[in-house]
């Protein structure tokens, strides 16, 4: 007999933080970094490489994109990756640190009022918690840890287990909401969780490689997410 749902775990990037501006700025930074090193990257080439990285479930998407464009030149790969991470503060400042998805505060309040326990299951630095606090949504989460504070990173299912333990629930009593098949849906289903994919952002075209990786439901809006939960 299936257990009643008691908790909902959220990824941050995608469902909560749209990351729309951030993704665009990262693309621009990568192309400019290659250009400044004498490597021209067309829009078509860049799009093909992004599609490849998503299709093969590259664990570090942007590192994989850079590696693919650089070919066998490891020094070039390392140099462009280093510059990408050096410019993180500039991008965060430019996008206001957090791109809160419309309707999310209201949904979180509704779920909390229904008695559901809310937790985070996200590959994020610890400062993401401050950004959520500044946007008025951290208060809805009973479990407030991310990879930067636990040292666990998806798709390692232990991150999701840690979140469930923090809420005092079994995985079968929890829903996982994320935007990636590889990082969110796969580990959630391994643990017997209900898996909801919020289809948005960089990984919108990502497809499961088998029926075992398919989400229980795909949603495209906050309204659909609320109905699915």
pLDDT digits (tens, 9 = 90+) for 89-142: 999 999 999 999 999 999 999 999 999 999 999 999 999 999 999 999 999 999
Instruction: Tell me if 196 sits within 8 A of 184, measured CB to CB.
Output: no
pLDDT tens digit sequence for 155-193: 999 999 999 999 999 999 999 999 999 999 999 999 999
pLDDT tens digit sequence for 37-84: 999 999 999 999 999 999 999 989 999 999 999 998 999 999 999 999
Q: What is the pLDDT of residue 2?
A: 63
- Angle between helices 43-55 and 61-70 in degrees, nearest 10: 130
Instruction: Tell me if 154 sits within 8 A of 184, measured CB to CB.
Output: yes
pLDDT tens digit sequence for 80-104: 999 999 999 999 999 999 999 999 9
Q: What is the pLDDT of residue 59?
A: 87
Task: Band the pLDDT of 1: cuts 50, 70, 90.
Answer: very low
What is the rounded end-to-end Cα distance, in angstroms, of the chain?
19
Sign of CA dihedral 4, 212, 219, 49: positive
Looking at domain 7-19+99-228, which of 3.20.20.300, 3.40.50.1000, 3.40.50.2020, 3.30.479.10 is its CATH number?
3.40.50.1000
Sign of CA dihedral 97, 101, 106, 110: negative
Q: Please tell me the pTM assigned to this model.
A: 0.94
Q: What is the pLDDT of residue 72?
A: 87
State both tokens at 122: 């996200």
Closest CA to 102 of 15, 189, 30: 15
> Looking at residues 194-201, what average pLDDT do you find?
98
């Amino acid at each position: 007999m299936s257990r009643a749902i008691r908790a909902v775990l959220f990824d941050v990037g995608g469902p909560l933080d749209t990351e729309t501006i951030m993704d665009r700025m990262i693309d621009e930074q990568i192309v400019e970094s290659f250009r400044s090193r004498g490597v021209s990257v067309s829009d078509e080439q860049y799009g093909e490489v992004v599609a490849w990285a998503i299709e093969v479930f590259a664990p570090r998407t942007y590192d994989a994109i850079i590696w693919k464009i650089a070919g066998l030149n490891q020094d070039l790969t390392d140099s462009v990756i280093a510059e990408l991470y050096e410019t993180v503060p500039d991008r965060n400042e430019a996008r206001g640190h957090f791109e809160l998805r419309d309707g999310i505060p209201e949904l979180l309040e509704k779920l909390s009022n229904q008695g559901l326990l809310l937790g985070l299951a996200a590959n994020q630095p610890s400062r993401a918690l401050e950004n959520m606090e500044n946007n008025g949504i951290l208060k809805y989460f009973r479990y407030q840890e991310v990879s930067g504070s636990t040292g666990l990173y998806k798709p390692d299912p232990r991150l999701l287990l840690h979140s469930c333990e923090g809420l005092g629930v079994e995985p079968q009593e929890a829903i996982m909401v994320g935007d990636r098949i590889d990082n969110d849906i796969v580990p959630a289903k391994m643990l017997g969780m209900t898996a909801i994919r919020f289809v948005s952002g960089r990984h919108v075209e990502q497809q499961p490689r088998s029926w075992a990786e398919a989400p229980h439901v795909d949603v495209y809006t906050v309204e659909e997410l609320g109905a699915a939960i």
